[in-house]
Amino acid sequence: MSPAVPGAQLWVELEVEAWRAQRNGEGGDHGIGGVRTSARRRWDTMAEDRRSRLEAALRRWRASQARVATLLPVYEHEPNPDDMSAVKEYYEANEALATAMQSGNSSLEDLVTLHEALDDSGHISRDWLQRQDTCSEDLIDQIDERSLVWFKIRRAAEAEEQEDEYDEEASEEYALASGKLRRGLCHCTGNDSDWMIEITITKQPTTSTTRPRCRLFHWTTAGLLMERGRVEKVPDGLYQDWKEIVHGDLKLSTVFLGDNTSEVFRGYPQAKLGDIGSTVIADHGNV
């Protein structure tokens, strides 16, 4: 999918693909990419007419956006006012562009209406929503909303003793909250909890021992990052291009249906943050 694809289209396209993959038995026993989600089997439980309407609205949206993309270059280059033929073509193109944009708005409204109907039809577990609310409240004091929180983890020097430069206790708290938010599978080893997907344990060598390091992953709305194109700077001046953070291919293994508590992005697919060597936590829906 091209980065130029509007976020709204990407959300719906990925959501339909995710539902279809679950319906066809892809993604293993634990949902997409090993993640359990309350949206599993929603495509199966959705009425056939709703599936058809959702895909039809998506096709209309794609067609209108393709038409707009074709006409925009004409709109951006005004003709010579003395060339009446060029002026006529320009205004005809403008009229066609307005029609295409109106069609796009109409199809997008159809998609929004369909999503609202799905949310209101009882496919989302109220218990699950309550758990999401509780977990979100637990994070209020730990995560600055509407921002990315970076915890730098440096490699220990090979030739000298060096303390681990990260807050182990804080990392464990984030890990637990992150796992709860994503309903991850917990594997307990001694006093440690390893949340699948949310935490990848990596080995970092030190002079004395090899100890596991947590690399936390969270998820953020794929379409929103696609539209913004760049993650905002954080207080220390660090920023990353979204391509370096979000998996560029956006496969089903790296995308799953997201936070249902967000009024704006309810149920939309979210993309995995991480794989960049730092601990990254994003307050989903507010990135």
Task: Please determine, for residue 136, whether its predicted confidence score (pLDDT) is greater than 50.
Answer: no
Domain ranges within the chain, ordered by starting residue: 7-120, 126-282
Q: What is the mean pLDDT of the chain?
A: 46
Tokens of 230: 């760049």
In the predicted model, is pLDDT for residue 175 greater than 70? no
Alpha carbons 239 and 236: distance in angstroms, whole number: 9
Name every residue whose Cβ is closer than 8 Å to that of residue 256 and which is 6 or more positions away in sequence.
18, 31, 32, 33, 35, 37, 39, 219, 269, 270
For 244-253, write each residue's pLDDT tens digit: 334 333 333 3
pLDDT at 47: 64
Rounded distance between C-alpha atoms, residue 285 and residue 218, angstroms: 12
Convert the pLDDT of each residue in 19-76 to its tens digit: 444 444 443 333 333 333 344 345 445 566 766 776 677 677 667 767 777 777 766 6
